Chain A
Amino acid sequence: MKRVYPNKDFCIGCHICELACLTAHSKSKDLILAYTVERGESGLSSCKHVHEGGPTCVALSCRHCDEPSCVAACISGALQKDPETGRTVYDREKCVGCWSCLMACPFGAIARHPLEAKIVKCDLCHDRPGGPACVAACPNKALKQEER
């Protein structure tokens, strides 16, 4: 499957991918509204996080692992592997907010939703026509979506 691969040598730590992720997952699909209104009102948050270590940066999110620890740990079946697409899919309705997945994912790819007992995790922008918003937005091509 095509995954998103971050290249730390190209990342300039600008956080534009996070903003693109925020917008892509907003109701309004408008950056300013997403940031100023939806973040506060509905707890909208980015699935992507820029990690900084001194001068080095890298933007990380769910790897959609082949054999994901989060799926093994999920007590409700909210996290599953889609056998057709290979994505690690999340069903928000099923989730009970037990944080088992957050504990089990060794890639730190799962965050608690700030307002509800739900998680925030990359969905590869599966219903976005242009593919992952973060990849499209990165000004230095530090994020690539490809088959490896």
Chain B
Amino acid sequence: MNYVIIGNGVSSIGAIEGIRRHDKDGKIVVIGAEDTAAYGRPLISYLLAGKIGPERLALRGEDYYARNGVELKLGTTATGVDTAKKTVTTDKGETVKYDRLLIATGGIPFVPPIPGVQGEDIYSFTTLAHANTLIELSSKIKRAVVIGGGLIGLKAAESLHDRGVSVTIVELAPRILSGGFDEKAGRLAANRLKNVGIEVNCGVTAKEIQRGKDGHVKGVLLTDGRFLECDVVVVAIGVVPHSAIAKEAGIKVERGIMVDAKLMTSAKDVYAAGDVAQAMDQLTGEHRVVPIWPNAYNQGYACGRNMAGAKQPYMGGLPMNSISFYGLPTISVGVVNPPDGDKNYEVHALLDEEKETYRKLVFRDEKLVGYVLVGDIDKGGMYTAFIKFEMPLAGEAKDKLINAGPEVFLWPAELFDETWNPEPAKAAR
């Protein structure tokens, strides 16, 4: 069996590990456009902040690819897929044959059509190369504006600030991290950033990026009329699925590459995973692009297993994020902003502004479907269990969860036994 994987991000690592669960011998070829082996993409902010050195980026050990019988073609971009001939062509002029193909090309930074956005001094922050560029720049620049108050924007802002650059964040939504946070959590996090000296502007966006006669950026004009002087602009609005190669091959693409219950695309023997895929969401059953790390690994892993013949359905992804703001840890999982006025949801929120702690629990149909924790995050995983295993929480159990926190004795007895003390035949999961 010949496996080919396009993209060498974490989805590809998941896929290699999934394939090798079932098939120790098949040949695996990974084609990766970047010139490094898979690295912790989120770690680029730790690198930019100077918290870790480049030697800590690699996701797996040096002998990983050799040990797993993987041929790694780095610095190589796949340029086309022929689903009839089952081949992939590359920019190096090669044609690689596959029996099973995984498209794991990730996302590309979305750059909105703001006047002045094309040209020098505008940066993205999604690759190691971007981080290295910003590291070099950081000693030469004084001020940066980060457009986008999502995960990547906040991380870029924090690490540039750590490099001594004065940073202002501009976010169109009324709060930072609007996807995973509500207003209260957003405020706690934004306060932390403000306290260290990062300016956070919500509810506004860049109207124009203004440049001097020499073409260099002078600053950003905001929609509320203010002008923010700066030397560089980091555009971090988010990523969009890098799906061009699939589209050109005639594979069905909506927002991302559409995949079925086994993560196969509309083309036979072609799979998709990670930031490029529009896969099923556990809680809604809908297909969505949720560009987060755990989904990318899990989908890659499930693809790998299925490519190797396991015929296992993908269980669906769960949106989740864990992010710290200068020592203030936060976690958000599942549905955290239920539709306004929707009677099917019940929300319990507890805010302690002084202690900087917040807990929000979201229930639907007597089940926990989402939570946010700020500050005190230690029970995070235990809350996740109730969502992931869709445990029924009626009456007393729900009250206990709300009042005393998650506890393993609230689990249904059968699940408890299967998990912790299974009959020998049911063990190993």
Residues of chain A touching chain B, judged by Cβ–Cβ distance below 8 Å, are: 3, 5-8, 51, 53-54, 56, 58, 60, 63, 65-67, 69, 71-73, 75-77, 80-81, 83, 93-94, 96-100, 102-112, 148
Residues of chain B touching chain A, judged by Cβ–Cβ distance below 8 Å, are: 14, 17, 20, 40-43, 46, 51-52, 56, 58-60, 293-294, 297-298, 301, 320-324, 329, 331, 333, 377-382, 384-385, 388-389, 406-409, 416, 419-424, 427-429
Residue of B nearest to A64 (CB): B428
Interface contact A102-B381, CB-CB below 8 Å:
yes
Interface contact A75-B14, CB-CB below 8 Å:
no
For this complex, 18 residue pairs linking A to B, each with C-beta atoms less than 8 Å apart, are: A8-B420, A56-B409, A58-B408, A58-B420, A66-B428, A71-B297, A75-B43, A77-B40, A93-B56, A98-B42, A98-B323, A99-B322, A102-B380, A106-B388, A107-B381, A107-B419, A108-B381, A108-B385
A109 to chain B: which residues have CB within 8 Å?
381
B298 to chain A: which residues have CB within 8 Å?
72
A111 to chain B: which residues have CB within 8 Å?
378
Query: Which among A63, A93, A100 is the interface contact of B322 at CB below 8 angstroms?
Result: A100
A71 to chain B: which residues have CB within 8 Å?
297
Interface contact B51-A96, CB-CB below 8 Å:
yes
Query: Which among A67, A94, A105 is the interface contact of B381 at CB below 8 angstroms?
Result: A105
Interface contact B58-A102, CB-CB below 8 Å:
no
Q: Given contacts A71-B297, A98-B323, A102-B377, could you give 20 more A-B pairs where the C-beta distance is less than 8 Å?
A: A60-B420, A76-B56, A77-B58, A94-B56, A96-B56, A97-B324, A98-B322, A100-B322, A102-B322, A103-B322, A103-B380, A103-B381, A104-B294, A104-B381, A106-B381, A106-B382, A107-B381, A108-B379, A108-B408, A109-B381
Interface contact A103-B320, CB-CB below 8 Å:
yes
Interface contact A72-B297, CB-CB below 8 Å:
yes
- Shortest Cβ gap from B412 to chain A (Å): 13
- Shortest Cβ gap from A146 to chain B (Å): 8
Residue of B nearest to A54 (CB): B409
A51-B408, A103-B377 as given contacts; A73 in contact with B331, CB under 8 Å:
no
Question: With A and B bound together, what is the CA distance between A56 and B407 in angstroms?
Answer: 12
- Shortest Cβ gap from A18 to chain B (Å): 16
Interface contact B52-A96, CB-CB below 8 Å:
yes
Interface contact A72-B40, CB-CB below 8 Å:
no
B52 to chain A: which residues have CB within 8 Å?
96
Question: With A and B bound together, what is the CA distance between A66 and B422 in angstroms?
Answer: 14
**Taking each of B40, B333, B406, B429, which has the highest tally of chain A beta carbons within 10 Å of its own beta carbon?**
B40
B333 to chain A: which residues have CB within 8 Å?
103
